[in-house]
Amino acid sequence: MQSIRWVIFLFFSFTAVSFSWYDANPIGKPIDNLNGVNVYFNGKDFTNVVGRNVAADGYNLGLKYQCVEFVKRYYYEVMDHKMPNTYGHAKDYFDKSLGDRGYNKKRGLMQYRNVREYRPMVNDLLVYDGYQGNRFGHVAIISKVSEEYVEIVQQNMGLSTRVQIPLVKFHQYWTIADYNILGWLRKE
């Protein structure tokens, strides 16, 4: 009986902590920053939408505080880049019909497939395919590249804004070791 009480106590303690943890971070609160571009909290539900973010010149940055909105805002503010096609889900940012190192006309960027001879670089826009639990895919910005990992900065993943993913080189091929990653886009 004592162990059951302990489990119940831990469950409610963890639940109370997790609720207060998220409550302390209201939607739209900056929780990280990459090169002067804020990463905003979007709540616990990745499908949450607060409206559309549009730049002063009318350029569509995307749905507030989705992952796409962050990477487009980053490319707009840091890379001085406007994408020709400003709409689409995260997975749509990668054109599967292109070969490796092809020009993605919709995004105005070079596109690189994962598991190829080209190594990812800082400021590349990383694209995940849709997967179980998230049919829209995901996008992030590569903030660091080492011999063993890439670090990404992302929005709309709760409070987890930075993640390191193993980077593997096998013969001449580079792979970011996550099967859901389609590849990356780059302004050249």
Tell me, what's the pLDDT at 10?
Answer: 40
Q: Does residue 179 sit within a domain?
A: yes
Q: Does residue 16 fall inside a structural domain?
A: no
d(CA 49, CA 172): 42
pLDDT of residue 48: 85
Q: What pLDDT does 22 receive?
A: 54
4 domain-assigned = no
Question: How much is the pLDDT for 184?
Answer: 98
The CATH number assigned to the domain holding 157 equals 3.90.1720.10
Alpha carbons within 13 angstroms on the beta-carbon side of residue 158 total: 7
> Could you say which DSSP state residue 185 is in?
E
What confidence score (pLDDT) does residue 9 get? 41
Supply the pLDDT for residue 85. Answer: 97
pLDDT of residue 168: 97
For position 6, what pLDDT does the model report? 45
How far apart, in whole angstroms, are the C-alpha atoms of residue 41 and residue 83? 24
Low-confidence residues in the chain, pLDDT < 50? 4, 6-20
Query: Which range of residues forms the domain containing residue 110?
Result: 26-186
Answer whether residue 111 is part of any domain. yes
Q: What is the 3-state secondary structure (H, E, C) of 145-165?
A: ECCCEEEEECCCECECCEEEE
Task: Give the contacts of 145 (CB within 8 A, at least 6 positions apart).
Answer: 119, 120, 121, 122, 151, 167
- Measure the CA–CA gap between 63 and 66, rounded to whole angstroms: 6
Q: Positive or negative CA dihedral for 70, 71, 73, 77?
A: positive
Q: What pLDDT sits at residue 45?
A: 84
Count structural domains, the chain: 1
